[in-house]
Structure formats: C-alpha cells, structure tokens
C-alpha cells in the first residue's frame, strides 16, 4: 500500500497489494485460473462474501488484476476500478449496467462507440439520443427519465473539441442522470473528470495507459457502488483481461506521468510549428491560443495532450500524399504509444460514417490526425516539413 500523502508519481510506482515473499520490488504475475481450498466451509465463506479470498479469475478475483485495478483507481482519484479486455468492453458493460433507461451522447464519440449504441443498444431496446455541442439547450428535454446516462468524450476524436465537464455534471445531476466520460485522449494526468463532477470514467487502456502499442485493455473508474453494479456484467460477458496483460499494463502505469509530460511537450512543439506552415490551413490543438475552446482548456485540463490534428488544402488526396511521404511518423491506426503515428480520419476512424455526417462533425477529408510520440520533436517537425514539401 502507498502513503496517501505521496504525489501521484510516487504512489503509482509503489502501488502494491502485498509484499513479495522473495523481496522483489515488483509483483509476480498470477496466471492462475482457479484457487484451492482446504475445506468446503472456507470455499463457501468466499463465495458468500463472509471472507475475502480468490475463487476464479474470470470473476476478477486475481491478485495481479486487483493490483492493477488499485492503480487505475489511484490515477483517477476514484474509490474503485475495473479492468477489461478492451476499451469497448469497458464501455459496453458500463452502458448495459447504467444506461438501460436511456443514453444521451454529447458531442462526437469514437466510431466504435457509435456503432455499439446505434447497432446494438437500440436493438436491445435501450433509447439512444445524440446531441451536438450546439444543441445542448435540448438536454433537459432529452433527459426524460431519472436514471438515464449522459455520455461524452473529451477531447473528442479528431477535432479535439471539449465538453465543459463541470457544467455537464451539474446539468445531468439536476435531471437525475449519471455522467460518463471517455477520458482516453486526455489521460488522468491531464484531466480528472471525477473531480469535476462526473460519475464514471472509462479508458481505452490500449492507448496512453498502455503506452507501448503492445497490449489491448480497458478500464472503468468510479465510486465503489457504481463499479459494483458493472462487475457482474463484466463477469458474465467474459470481458476480463488476462493476468499477463494486467502485468504489462501495471508496468506501463509506472511511467505514465513522465510519458504524458513528454507527449504534451512534443505535441505543443509540433502544433506550433505546423501553425506557421504555409501548406497547413488549420491546426487543432488544445494548447494553442488559437484553439476555439482554449479558455475552457486552461480551466479543465492540467496538460494539453499528445494529439494534434492538421488540415490541408487539397482534400483527401493532399492528406494522403503527406501521410504516404512521412518517414518517422508511422501510417497506422490507434494512438498513445511512444512512437508517432499518422492517420487520415476519413480513411480510418470515421471511414464508416457518411461524408455528410463527417462534415456535420467538422471532420474534413483534408485532415490528418497526429499521435505525437516521444521522439525528438525537432525530428518530428523535420519529417512533417519534408512530407509537406511533396505537395
């Protein structure tokens, strides 16, 4: 256990649930699936909740996974956390547990989340509504039943548009709704939605929390009561991550504060350089004074993140030309790793959305989304300059 007075960097490095009997500073990986008991009475004490213990890993009772969850809760200042096999697993279980009376989506959401809500949740009879940022005056009329779920992603992909979380929490709670926030882009280092009034926070831990493009995982952080409601859904849907993945993710969390700090610095340097480039029509980055919501950014976020979106004249062909000519940036989906990545939203994350809907969301064919990694920022800027010269 860690000292609650320590800062987050110290606490996450020393996150432990028990001491290793051999003195290892790290915890072993318990790949155990089941646990033996000396007596039937002892087994029943664990099953029926009279005594703590481990029974079956799919239920989440595994030392490696529970230590990870302790660290995840620590990062978001939450009472409890659940680890999942993917970000979509975390989102789907949370919606099934807390959104059955209806889900109201604010702003732009990840394409996979939209697919879940439209193609599956509505099929199950769960009411789903979408409100653009400029239609928030309709929120009260949309929250018709107490116990509904308001869901937002901030910053959003790929425009990096923000939702005012303190205001959204207040408005949601006034109507008896819970507020759920996808905090993947910001990370808990740059933004903590629970401290701003949100009720539930989800992450694709595949991204910044994992940080090395070598694992797939998800996370939910919330009060112990709200987490306990989600746990049976995770158990019965079989959405738990493997203990080996939990070990990798716990490893990554120890360097998260340092990695995010460097992501922030590199992205700001890249965004500033691209804002001055004559071939770039527009740069979207929360840390730039030109960003439309920069005032809200400074109030709500502690850092500006590692994602930068640039928009080029020449549309889809110009963006593809630049992406194809980059040498240091890798042409790949996903984000949040130590290596820098580039993707064209109209060809990847938002490929399945109509052009009309993309335009409504402010996503043009000339956009390139940059996941700025931990390379030397001068090399990243040079790479972008030489690729832009291909135009």
Residue 149: phi, psi to the nearest 5?
Answer: -120, 125
58 catalytic? Reply is yes
Which candidate in 30, 54, 108, 110 is catalytic?
110
CA dihedral 45, 51, 56, 62 (to 10 degrees): -170
Which candidate in 164, 171, 175, 207 is catalytic?
207
The vertex-354 CA angle with 353 and 360, nearest 5°, equals: 95
Task: Give the whole-angstrom CA distance, residue 128 versus residue 121.
Answer: 8
**Cβ atoms of residues 339 and 375 within 8 Å:** yes
110 catalytic? Reply is yes
**Cβ atoms of residues 143 and 104 within 8 Å:** yes
* Cα–Cα separations (whole angstroms), residue 24 to 15, 32, 84, 122: 13, 19, 26, 49
Task: Give the whole-angstrom CA distance, residue 343 versus residue 348.
Answer: 7
Which candidate in 164, 182, 199, 365 is catalytic?
182
Residue whose entry in the numeric block shows the structure tokens 């799919």: 58
Q: Which residues contact 365 (CB under 8 A, 6 or more apart)?
A: 315, 316, 319, 344, 346, 355, 358
Task: Give the whole-angstrom CA distance, residue 192 versus residue 293.
Answer: 18
| Residue among 132, 103, 117, 153 nearest 362 (CA) | 132
**Cβ atoms of residues 294 and 162 within 8 Å:** no
Q: Which residues are catalytic?
A: 58, 110, 182, 207
């Amino acid at each position: 256990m860690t000292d609650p007075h320590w800062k987050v960097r110290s606490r996450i490095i020393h996150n432990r649930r028990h001491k290793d009997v051999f003195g290892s500073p790290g915890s072993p990986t318990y790949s155990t699936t089941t646990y033996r008991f000396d007596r039937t009475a002892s087994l029943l004490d664990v099953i029926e909740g009279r005594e703590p213990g481990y029974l079956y890993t799919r239920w989440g009772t595994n030392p490696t996974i529970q230590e990870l969850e302790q660290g995840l809760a620590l990062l978001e200042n939450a009472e409890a956390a659940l680890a999942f096999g993917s970000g979509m697993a975390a989102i789907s279980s949370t919606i099934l547990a807390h959104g059955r009376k209806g889900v109201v989506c604010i702003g732009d959401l990840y394409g996979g989340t939209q697919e879940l809500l439209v193609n599956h949740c509505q099929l199950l009879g769960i009411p789903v509504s979408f409100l653009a940022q400029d239609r928030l005056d309709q929120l009260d009329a949309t929250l018709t039943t107490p116990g509904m779920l308001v869901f937002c992603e901030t910053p959003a992909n790929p425009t990096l548009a923000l939702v005012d979380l303190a205001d959204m929490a207040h408005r949601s709670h006034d109507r008896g709704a819970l507020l759920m926030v996808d905090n993947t882009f910001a990370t808990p280092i740059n933004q903590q939605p629970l401290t701003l009034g949100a009720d539930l926070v989800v992450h694709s831990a595949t991204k910044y929390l994992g940080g090395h493009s070598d694992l797939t995982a998800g996370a939910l952080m919330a009060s112990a009561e709200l987490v306990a409601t989600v746990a049976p859904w995770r158990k019965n849907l079989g959405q738990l991550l493997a203990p080996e993945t939990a070990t990798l993710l716990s490893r990554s969390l120890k360097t998260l504060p340092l990695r995010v700090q460097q992501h922030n610095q590199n992205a700001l340097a890249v965004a500033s350089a691209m804002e001055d480039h004559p071939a770039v029509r527009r740069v979207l980055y929360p840390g730039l004074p030109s960003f439309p919501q920069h005032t809200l950014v400074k109030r709500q976020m502690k850092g500006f993140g590692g994602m930068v979106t640039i928009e080029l004249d020449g549309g889809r062909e110009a963006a593809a030309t630049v992406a194809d000519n980059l040498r240091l940036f890798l042409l790949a989906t996903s984000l949040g790793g130590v290596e820098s990545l580039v993707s064209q939203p109209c060809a990847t994350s938002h490929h399945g959305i109509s052009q009309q809907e993309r335009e409504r969301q402010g996503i043009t064919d000339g956009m390139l989304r940059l996941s700025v990694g931990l390379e030397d920022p001068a090399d990243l800027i040079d790479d972008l300059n030489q690729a832009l010269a291909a135009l």
